[in-house]
Structure 1
Amino acid sequence: MTDLKPSVYRKHFIPLESNPVVFTKLIHRLGVPPSLAFTDVYSLDDPDLLAMISRPTSALILVFPTSLQYEQNKAADEMKRDNYAGQGAEEDVIWFKQTINNACGLYGVLHCVSNGKTASSITPSSTLSNLLAKCIPVSPQARALVLEEDEELEKAYTTAATEGDSAVPENPEDEVDFHYVAFIKSTKNGHLYLMDGDRKGPVDLELPLTESDDLLSEPVLEVVRKFIQMEGGENLNFSLMALGPSQNDDDD
């Protein structure tokens, strides 16, 4: 799930199951309103299956198996980039460096709900609202510590991690072979971003989106298709979840 050395991690979480119900319950506990929810995306090409998803879609989470090819591609990309140092309200996006082992699902969630139009719908004084108030003004390094030390966030996550259908690992320090990344649209510059806490910072994909383009618009779908193909697209273990209007406000 990550190429960071175990010594980097100060905390270890049980991995989150790739399940839109689990993800939806988690964001509601954190302070996202019931009007928003995650749902599975079953096809990137079939218009009938895509039409089943409530729009507009504000973010995507892609889940995929890690591999040597993926790690090599990522390392090559990261060699060209500097460590991100953004902080404050002027940031184009809000990014979190992953320092909690096996918690890439949590970082994917945070990237989805802290950016785009979803961020403006967060319930005031909620766990997420309070977290962002502490995180936005500080450096990525300080943000990482805020996340590690937030007891309400850990409690909500731990509950979600034990609610899925999959067996929970006995040891949270055991590595898993899948990873989560998010795709979001910046409300500042309108660009599409790849958000991955295992990288040096947010990745501006330099794709400007129009006001009417959501995260299931054709330009975004093409980016996701290429990402999957580059990382071994024939593997059926790839899955995609979309964040958008809830079809059922009773998910909690």
Structure 2
Amino acid sequence: MASTEQERADPHSPSVSPSNTKRFVPLVTAYAENNPDVMSSLVHKLGLSSKLGFQDVFSIDDPDLLAFVPRPAYALLLIFPVSDTYEKFRVTEDQGREEYNGSGSGEEVVWYKQTIGNACGLIGLLHGVSNGKAKSFIEPDSALSRLLSEAIPLTPVGRANLLYESQALESAHQSAAAQGDTSAPSANDKVDLHYVCFVKSENNHLWEMDGRRKGPLYRGALDAEEDVLSDKALDLGVRSFLKREEEAGGGDLRFSLIVLAESLD
């Protein structure tokens, strides 16, 4: 497993590092680009229905700006700079936790361990479309449908190998990385930004999904009518993250948010 020092230097480093680790061109740039069109293009290419797509969230506190976001929001993707504060929190929270080894149709959420360099954006997208009600929008017989069907019976190590060897994922990721408002970085570039995904399970629980962690992280219960952009979900997730950074005096609070929701087209 990559050391804390290695992961801090490269937050997109995989949680397991085989020799000659595969690396993707980052979906994110140093400017915190979190382009919803790029993300939508990627999941649509894999087989998510065009009825859903990713939308920008410009504020989590201004009701007027939140009103522009279609609801319900099925998944919330947060991108942020990996600070010392976050790394200390991550290490402390994971300390003593056992590695997640769940598999099968009885799992409440499907979690993917990241073993591909620079793929945290892709892993975040997969977490968003593989869980909760969003997965019902996956087109039958699509690459995404086949991938999810193959992944569910596997343990996290088996799932990681499945993603690592998937040509469909690699092709869709490469195509998406060439889009966006800024030129794509190299696969060997180190980018200090990272993705985590918040999803609501069909049991009305909020989960934080991050392929660098030891497994999915339960963040609390939601009411049936609350989605990942509800006040309670934001308090349990994104606002807790921002509060922790602010209280630690972190000077770099670059972050952006997109949600998976009904397409605007």
**TM-score when scaled to structure 1?**
0.93
Q: Report the secondary structure of 1:231's partner residue.
A: helix
Distance in 1, matches of 2:61 and 2:242, equals 13
SS at 1:11 equivalent: coil
CA contact (8 A) 1:65 1:238 kept: yes
* 1:53 alignment partner AA: V
Matches within 5 A, 1:208-247: 208-223=221-236, 224-232=238-246, 235-247=252-264
Deviation at 1:174, TM superposition (A): 2.5
Q: Which moved more, 1:94-103 or 1:67-76?
A: 67-76
The equivalences for 1:66-105 within 5 A come to 66-105=82-121
Distance 1:46 1:230 in 2: 21
Mapping 1:44-193, distance limit 5 Å: 44-170=60-186, 172-187=187-202, 189-193=203-207
In structure 2, give the amino acid aligned to 1:16: L
How many residue pairs match? The answer is 245
Q: Does the residue aligned with 2:257 lie in a helix, a strand or coil?
A: strand
Partner secondary structure for residue 228 of structure 1: helix
Change (3 A) 1:75 1:56: same
For 1:80 and 1:38, locate their aligned partners in 2 and report how far apart those are by CA, in whole Å: 35
- Residue 12 of structure 1 aligns with which residue? 23
What CA deviation, in whole Å up to 9, does each residue of 1:122-180 have, x standing for no partner? 0011010010111100110010000011101110110001111222223x123210000
SS in 2 for 1:112: helix
Question: Displacement, 1:231?
Answer: 3.1
Question: Quick one: percent identity of the two aligned structures?
Answer: 47
Unaligned runs of at least 5 residues, structure 1: none
Q: Which residue matches 1:199? A: 213
- Paired letter, 2:149: A
**8 Å CA contact 1:3, 1:71 repeated in 2:** no
Assess if the C-alpha contact under 8 Å between 1:69 and 1:231 holds in 2: yes
Assess, with a 3 A threshold, how the Cα gap between structure 1 residues 195 and 7 changes in structure 2: closer, same or farther.
Answer: closer
The reply on whether 1:31 has 2:27 as its aligned counterpart is: no
Q: Give, as a single letter, the amino acid of the residue that structure 1 aligns with 2:96.
A: K
TM-score calculated relative to the size of structure 2: 0.88
